[in-house]
Chain A
Amino acid sequence: MRGGGERERAEALGREALAYADGLYNLARYLTRNPSDAEDLVQETYGRAIKASAQFTPGTNLKAWLFRILRNAFMSHYRRDRHNPVTGGLDTVTPRLPAAKDIGRQRDSVEIDRLRKAAAEDIERALLSLSEDARTVILLDLEGLTESESAEVLGCALGTVKSRLSRARAALRETLRDWEP
C-alpha cells in the first residue's frame, strides 16, 4: 500500500510531466520527422519516466529529465532500428570568425535579407537538413532550456553544448544563406 503523501507526489509529478508534452512532442517531430513516430516516441518517453519515477528527486529539474529520457529513447530505438538519411555531423561547419572576412559585406547583406524573408517551411526544411545532434541542440535552446540543462539532456559538458550550439546555428545559417527561394 502506498501512503497518501506518495500518491500526492505521484499525482503532482504526473501533472507537471504532462505540462511538457508539447515541447517533448515538438522535439520528437523534428527528430523522427513524422507524427506517428513522434507520438510513439513521446509515449515511450512517459513510459520510461513512469518506470524511473521513483528515482526522480522532487525539486530537481523534471523538464531536463524528461527531455533526456526522450533523447535516450530516440537514440536507443529509433536511430538503431531505422535508416537515418542525415549523416552530417555537427563539426562539418565552423562558426564564422573574423578571419573569414573574405565573404564580403554584400554577401552578408544577402544573408540578412534571406533570414528575414525565409518562410516557415524554408526554416523547417533547413533545420531538418541538419544532423540529429544539431537539430536537438537548437530545439533545446528554443525550448528555453539553459545550456546547463541542455548539457544534462545531452550528457555532455557545458562547454560542449556551447560549441555544439554555435556550430549548429552556423550550419543552419549557411543552409539558409545558400537556399534558393
Chain B
Amino acid sequence: MDCHDVLLVLLDYQQGRLAPEAHGQVRAHLDGCTDCAHEDRLEHELTQALERRLPQHAAPLALKRRLAAQWPVDATSPAPRRQWLRSWMPAAAAAVILLALAPLAWQRVLSPWGSGRDVMVAEAVNDHVRLVQSERPLEIESGGIHQVIPWFSGRLDFAPTVRFTGDSDFPLRGGAVGYFVDRKAAALVYGRRLHTVSVFVFRADGLPWPRAGLEKLGRLEVYRTASRGFNVLLWRDGELGYAVVSDVDPRDLSLLVGRLSAS
C-alpha cells in the first residue's frame, strides 16, 4: 500500500470498516510514514472536533408531538396539507386541527400510560429529557469511571454497579443523582457520536417491571420500546434496575447494553 492508497481508505481505517488484513496494511504503512501518520492525526482531530463540539440541535418537543399527531394509525390515510407553503389560512387551519387532535393521537400512538410498565418507560424518558435539557446536566464531569462512581458514594442508598468505563464508541461524559419513580438513581451519561445516552441505575424492588415482551440480550432479559421519539431499554440485574434512554439507533443501544453487562 502506498500513500495514495492509504489516504483513500483512511476514514474507513479510523472507523474500523476495513477487513483485518487491509487494516493491518494501513497500520504498518502509518508506522513507517510520518506524512500519512500526520494526516491520520489530523483526520482524527477533525472527527473529535465534530463529534464532541459541533452543536447538535434536538427536535423541539412540540415538533415531536406534532409529528406523533401527524402519523396516522392507518398509514394509508391522506397526509396533512403541506406546511411548506406557509400561506396564512391553511397554516392556521392545520394548527387548529393539530392542536385539537394532538392529545388524542399522542395518547393513541405513543402514550398508553395505563400500565406500570408504561409508567416506568415514561419516567425513564422524562429523566432523560430533564438531563439533556438541563443547563447543567452533569454534576460530575467524567475523568473516567473511577472518578465518577466514587462520586456517588454517600449520595445514594445503594452502590451503583457500572464498570463500563466508556470507550471511543461510547465515551463516558459524567454523572448526576436523580430520582426514578420514588427512589434515588444514579444517572450516567455516555456519548454516541453527536447523541446523548442516559443510563439510570436504581433499586429494582417494588417497581412494576415488564414481564412480557422481553428479549434476550447476552445474559440479560431486556424490555425494549420507543416512546416520544426515544428508544428505551429496561432490565433488572440482581437487586438493581437499569434504564437506558436515547434517540440513537436501537442497534447502538444494544451495543451499549452489551458493554454495560459484560464488564
Contacts and interface: CB of A to CB of B under 8 A. Distances in A.
A23 B59 CA distance: 8
Contacts of A10: 71-76
B63 A142 contact: no
A22 B46 contact: no
B213 to A, nearest CB: 13
Interface string A129-149: 000000000100011101000
B59 A97 contact: no
Interface magnitude class on chain A: 35 or more
B76 A138 contact: no
B110 interface: yes
Nearest to A41: B84
A14 interface: yes
Nearest to A119: B53
Contact of B74 (A2, A48, A98, A118): A2
A127 to B, nearest CB: 7
A118 B55 CA distance: 12
B25 interface: no
A102 B228 CA distance: 53
A112 B42 contact: yes
Given A25-B59, A47-B79, A115-B45, A142 B54 contact: yes
29 contacts: A7-B73, A11-B109, A14-B73, A15-B109, A15-B110, A18-B71, A18-B228, A19-B230, A19-B250, A21-B247, A35-B57, A35-B60, A39-B59, A39-B60, A43-B70, A44-B83, A53-B76, A63-B249, A115-B46, A116-B49, A120-B53, A120-B54, A123-B49, A124-B54, A127-B50, A127-B54, A142-B50, A142-B194, A144-B249
Given A35-B57, A124-B55, 11 more contacts: A15-B110, A18-B110, A18-B229, A21-B59, A22-B59, A40-B84, A46-B70, A98-B35, A115-B48, A115-B49, A144-B192
